[in-house]
Amino acid sequence: MDEGWWRHGARGFTRYSWMACVLSLGSAAACGGGSSSSPGSGGSASGGASTDGDGDGDTLSPGGHSAEGSGGRDQNSDECTVFPADNPWNQAVADLPVHENSDNFIASIGLDDHVHPDFGTQWEGAPIGIPYVEVDASTPLTDIQYVAYGDESDPGPFPIPLDSPIEGGSDGDGDRHVIAWDREGCMLYELYSSYPSDDEWEAGSGAAYDLSINDEHPEGCTSADAAGLPIFPGLVRYDEVVLQGEIAHALRFTVQRSQRGYVHPARHYASSDTDPDLPPMGLRLRMKADYDCDGFSGEASVVCAALKTYGMIVADNGSNWYISGAPDPRWDDEALGDLKSIPGSAFEVVDTGEEIVTEAPDCVIE
């Protein structure tokens, strides 16, 4: 374990203790999931079946929390676009060349494993997905007390109400992301491992983004996500799928094992594994143009179209092929289930021209 990994990927350490539990007890359920203490848990053992969950490793803990404003809103509004059109999240990749190591990357994630829509209505009584709340200039600022990665986090205070929906619900033991979107102010605020008290949030890490520009977290720093990326721009949301009929951005997804490296727009890695065939954080995939989505539901067809045009970005360690979205009681879970028939072999890695960063610079928050 080298010093560089400890500085930039230490959040992956908890994954090893979790895997030891799994190997001894025989199931993730017995161990209570995989990333309840870290947004960047890395380097779990290969294999393992994907099960319902929130996609960030805690595979038996559903995401979301029922509250007004927690479901999928449309991506854009007259007041605010979620990053400019030339931001990597919003750029089409249908015409980019295939990466020379595509076959190995895909094989490491799982050729025969299948996509899982990690969003929907409810699972075992809790909404599934990563929720968010809309705020505005009148929303009071709340102090943030960081307990893990404060030196890599934006300090706050943030306009995140203490009753905001939490991923996994108020009693969830997973990643417990909290997201607030200020459309009018064109700002985004995200927290990881979030616990409200009487007058402040206690969180593992957090970041704020100016959505009117190509704002990025500093190089080498984690955010509320393992890759140092914002979460919200990559979520599948109900309004864009069902009401707009189009997703005009890349999607966020997770892999079980990643390498000690990242490609831009990611800013951070979360693994000690130097295997070059494992996907780095920020790796961009797309669905092959000739993959047949005919016969899919309308909802699944919209997701397929986005995957072919904009693709998806490796953003965290978790269950393989889990695509993130926001919970909404209006989702048709059966219709979304069509996505579960899509194998890993339907995807390829695109060459964005970015080199893999294997030695991250020291994180500096200004």
Q: Provide the pLDDT for residue 125.
A: 82
Q: Which two tokens stand for residue 186?
A: 């064109």
Q: For the whole model, what pTM was predicted?
A: 0.82
Cβ–Cβ < 8 Å for 31, 229: no
Q: Which two tokens stand for residue 156?
A: 């706050």
Provide the 3-class DSSP secondary structure of residue 336.
helix
Q: What is the pLDDT of residues 214-248, one digit of tens each?
A: 999 999 999 999 999 999 999 999 999 999 999 99
Q: What is the pLDDT of residues 7-24, one digit of tens each?
A: 233 333 333 333 333 333
Q: Which of 253, 244, 236 is nearest to 303 (CA)?
A: 236
Q: Which of 285, 171, 172, 190 is nearest to 229 (CA)?
A: 190
**Peptide bond before 265: cis, by omega within 30 degrees of 0?**
yes
Give the Cα separation of 190 and 192 in Å (integer): 7
Q: Which two tokens stand for residue 28?
A: 């993730």
Q: Provide the pLDDT for residue 127.
A: 86
Give the Cα separation of 136 and 338 in Å (integer): 37
Distance of CA 43 to the CA centre of its chain: 17
Give the Cα separation of 44 and 14 in Å (integer): 10
Mean pLDDT by 10 residues, the chain (366 residues): 31 32 32 37 32 36 33 48 96 98 98 98 90 97 98 97 95 94 96 97 98 97 98 98 98 98 98 98 98 98 98 98 98 98 98 97 94
Cβ–Cβ < 8 Å for 289, 95: no
- Residue 83 backbone zone (phi > 0: left; psi -120 to 50: alpha; other: beta): left
